[in-house]
Amino acid sequence: MAVNVIRRKELYEIMPEGLITTHKWLVNNNLSRHAIDNLVKSSQIESISKGVYVRNSNKISWQSVVFSLQSVLKTDLVVGGLTALEMQGLSHYLSLSENKIVHLFGNDLLPEWVTNLDLNIKFVRHTTNSLFAKKSEEKQLQLFTVERDWDNDNRKLILSTPERAYLEVLSDVPQKTTFEHADQLMQGLTTLSPRNLQKTLEYCQNVKVKRLFFWFADRQNYVWLGKINRESITLGSGNRMLMKGGKLDTKYKITVPEWL
């Protein structure tokens, strides 16, 4: 039996154009297997991978992909790093690459269909194991993430707070992010929350990232920096060589560029 007008209207309400869903998700939203087959046969939805569907593949965006990962597949992946800073207006850095890079942080794997999408977008997944202590994941989400609308239907994406996002950026210094870029980003972080920073730095277990954070922050000497209780933030011991040919900063015991 073909999907009737009412059922089609219901489909359009739960599945806006560009939203990627799974067979299980559609069944859980009261669509029978037969109804799903009919929707595919009538080209109302498209199958982009086994058990994965979209309504109008031309409307797929990186935001709809991430929303699907977060709200349909229920992964722990969060928009983070430079992408989260960009979404919150805290990055003026423009990539020269033709492909947009979307940074996702979490321990769940990206489904294969994500990498097979024909988009000028590269999704880069970073694990959080080396950055944050393995405490309550739900508590971490509440403390270190915010929600932002991505469409006209009040659907939201989960992304890192500016405080967490900057630490995520620092995790790639200097291997994939330059000292200069990290320094430029810090220059725009004038309104970070001391309260959020305190909690985020206390949860952070990466010594390199914490030392880099204070090194960059000291260069700007923002008001919020004086409100951080450094005694509760462990910075470890011993020197860390972050780059060859750099100079040793004796305060934080890290090698940094001579020109900064």
Using alpha carbons, select from 135, 105, 145, 97 the residue that is nearest to residue 123.
Answer: 105
Mean pLDDT by runs of 10 across the 260 residues of the chain is: 65 87 92 88 92 94 95 94 93 62 93 91 91 64 81 87 96 94 95 94 94 97 95 94 90 90
The crossing angle, in degrees rounded to 10, of helices 162-170 and 179-187 is 160
Q: Containing H/E element for 157? A: strand 156-160
- In this prediction, residue 152 carries a pLDDT of 76
Q: How far apart are CA 122 and CA 132, in angstroms?
A: 24
- The whole-number pLDDT of residue 139 equals 58
- Give me the pLDDT at residue 1, please: 42
CB-neighbour burial class of residue 57 (10 A; exposed 0-12, middle 13-18, buried 19+)? middle
The pLDDT assigned to 8 comes to 74
What was the pLDDT predicted at 99?
A: 63
The DSSP code sequence of 191-230 is T--HHHHHHHHHHB--HHHHHHHHHHHHHH--GGGGG--G
pLDDT confidence of residue 142:
60
Specify the amino acid at residue 27: V
Q: What are the φ/ψ torsions at residue 48 (nearest 5 degrees)?
A: -105, -10
Q: How many CA atoms lie within 13 A of 184 on its CB side?
A: 11
Q: Check residue 198 and give its pLDDT.
A: 95
In the β-sheet with 46-49, what is the strand arrangement from edge to edge? 20-22, 52-54, 46-49
Give the pTM: 0.91
Q: What is the pLDDT of residues 78-120, one digit of tens each?
A: 999 999 999 999 986 655 455 689 999 998 999 999 989 988 8
